[in-house]
Amino acid sequence: MSEAEKIQTAATDEVEQSLYAKRQKIYPREVHGIFAALRTSGVLALLGLYYIIPWLMWDGHQAVLFDLPARKFYILGLVFWPQDFFYLTLLLIIATLSLFFFTALAGRLWCGYACPQTVWTEAFLWIERRVEGTRPQQMKRDKEAMSLKKFRVKASKHLIWIVFSLFTGLTFVGYFSPMRELAVNFVNWNLGPWEMFWIFFYGFATYGNAGWLREQVCTYMCPYARFQSAMIDKDTLIISYDEERGEPRGARKKTVDPKEAGLGHCIDCTICVQVCPTGIDIRDGLQYQCIGCAACIDACDDVMDRMGYPRGLVRYTTENILSGKATHIFRPRIFVYAVILAAITIGSFTAIMGRSPIALDVIRDRNTLFRETNEGLIENVYILKVINMDKEEHEYSLSVTGIPGLNLKMDAFEIVVKSGEVVELPVRVSIDPYNLQERSSEISFHLNALEGDDLSVTEKARFLGPRR
């Protein structure tokens, strides 16, 4: 084999090794600081809301309950129906615009502080540190041979993880099934097959993602890591290492003047790497693996304080600032996102608050365009679906307008719809053919609650007749 072939083979082996290298476990070092405090507060707030909300009651029902069999979705004092799917679309639009806004403003804020993967991983890491100890203690224990003490510590950690994960799965199902009944049935082991499946499935997903996969979810599974670069620009606040100030890096005593030693402020302690949950070195520049948790900022600031150097060697900054150029944090792009986001949010809230608790669907009889009665009238047949989304039963009156001389006939003498009920009502609309000016005319059905004029809805339809 020639020397060139040997080099090519070695290069190929190196690539294959890098592609299929075994995962190196990351031991994130515990860090304290302002960003760590913000992240901890976010974790406590989000986990607290997640676990507490299903237990809260509101007007005799669970505060937040997505009752799929009944097709009712309770959110505090509001009740949504499948007909309100439009509002879910608006919610997804708001979430997307929020992601654009915050990413353009300050990078991966969502990933670092509010993403479920980050939140539950932080909880699992906290449990791990309480049971196994600090980063050096964990690394030392993993290098030791299996012993009774090591087995006891590892088993205790995983047992707590599993219990916590099952509680997470139970809470998740509690958003779709009444939580208080579900908890009693879970304790008595009297669960339905689907309830049991989703509790264990979501629990297993929590245990696997937060306990085992961790940074691999962010690195290999999350699509946001791949397209975030298209959402930031040179004026976006990102976590960056000030290379001009930090280089050349090198270890030194606290008493050494870095200028006299020809060194920058970076002492090459690698603590910024040790605290990173994805194991990257922020000094290598912005990387897609960075989740924006700012743990490296807190770690570096602590080192700078101990060395007597100014803070901010690693900080939130922009590419333009690092290049010595002017920067504009609140630029037109940010204002456009903010205005659109505010408009859609306010509009959605107004629409939800002002929505009618009754709905009317009008379906024409497709089998017959029209028919002539024995009296010589032109008649169209419709199926009306009356949906009462209010919390109380209502009696309604029905009328039709649009063409002078319209006659409305229906089999029912009264229209009474219970709360949450859908009633199908066949109706016939007839008219003297001399009053028809067009072959197709627009008419309107008016449904009004007898208890008050504020409960009403109008739905348009087409009335068909013969050619003139």
Whether residue 309 has pLDDT greater than 80? yes
Of the chain, the end-to-end C-alpha distance in Å amounts to 94
Q: Where are the alpha helices (DSSP H) in 354-465?
A: none
Whether residue 420 has pLDDT greater than 70? yes
Q: What is the pLDDT of residue 231?
A: 87
**Fold adopted by 358-464:** Immunoglobulin-like (2.60.40)
Place of tokens 């004029």: 453
What type of residue is 116? P
Q: What is the pLDDT of residue 4?
A: 43
- What percent of the chain has pLDDT above 90? 76
3-class secondary structure, 451? coil
> Taking residues 385-395, what's their average pLDDT?
87
What backbone phi and psi angles, to 5 degrees, belong to 14? -65, -40
Give the tens place of pLDDT for each residue, 199-253.
999 999 999 999 999 999 999 999 887 787 788 999 999 999 999 999 999 999 9
pLDDT confidence band for 99 (50 / 70 / 90) = very high
Q: What is the pLDDT of residue 78?
A: 85
The mean pLDDT of the chain is 91
Whether residue 14 has pLDDT greater than 50? no
The more confidently predicted of residues 420 and 394 is 394
| Encoded tokens for 15 | 């690539």
Whether residue 11 has pLDDT greater than 50? no
Whether residue 457 has pLDDT greater than 60? yes
Q: What is the pLDDT of residue 453?
A: 57
- What percent of the chain has pLDDT above 70? 95
Residue 378 CA to residue 375 CA, distance in Å, equals 9
| Encoded tokens for 142 | 């993993």
pTM of the model: 0.85
Whether residue 290 has pLDDT greater than 90? yes
Q: What is the pLDDT of residue 47?
A: 97
Q: Where are the alpha helices (DSSP H) in 134-266?
A: 135-143, 148-174, 179-187, 193-206, 215-216, 224-227, 243-246, 258-261
| Encoded tokens for 165 | 């994960």
Q: What is the pLDDT of residue 447?
A: 92
Q: What SS3 string covers 311-373?
A: CCCEEEECHHHHCCCCCCCCCHHHHHHHHHHHHHHHHHHHHHHCCCCEEEEEEECCCCCCEEC
Q: What is the pLDDT of residue 346?
A: 96
Q: What is the pLDDT of residue 262?
A: 95
Quick one: which H or E segment has residue 446? strand 440-449
The more confidently predicted of residues 356 and 372 is 372
Q: In the chain, what's the furthest Cα-to-Cα distance?
A: 110
pLDDT confidence band for 84 (50 / 70 / 90) = confident
The more confidently predicted of residues 292 and 60 is 292
Which sequence spans correspond to the domains of the chain? Answer: 21-85+109-226, 358-464
The more confidently predicted of residues 162 and 61 is 162
Give the tens place of pLDDT for each residue, 107-139.
999 999 999 999 999 999 999 999 999 999 999
380: Cα separation from own chain's centroid = 47
pLDDT confidence band for 59 (50 / 70 / 90) = confident
> Taking residues 318-340, what's their average pLDDT?
93
Q: What is the pLDDT of residue 18?
A: 52
Q: What is the pLDDT of residue 353?
A: 85
> Taking residues 7-18, what's their average pLDDT?
48
**Residues whose CB falls within 8 Å of the CB of residue 24, separated by 6 or more in sequence, listed in order:** 279
Whether residue 20 has pLDDT greater than 70? no
Question: What b/e readout covers 206-216, taking b as 16+ CB neighbours within 10 angstroms?
Answer: bbebbbebbbe
pLDDT confidence band for 10 (50 / 70 / 90) = very low
Residue 223 CA to residue 243 CA, distance in Å, equals 29
| Encoded tokens for 461 | 């339809």
Lowest mean pLDDT among 88-92, 377-381, 418-422, 434-438: 418-422
Q: What is the pLDDT of residue 83?
A: 78
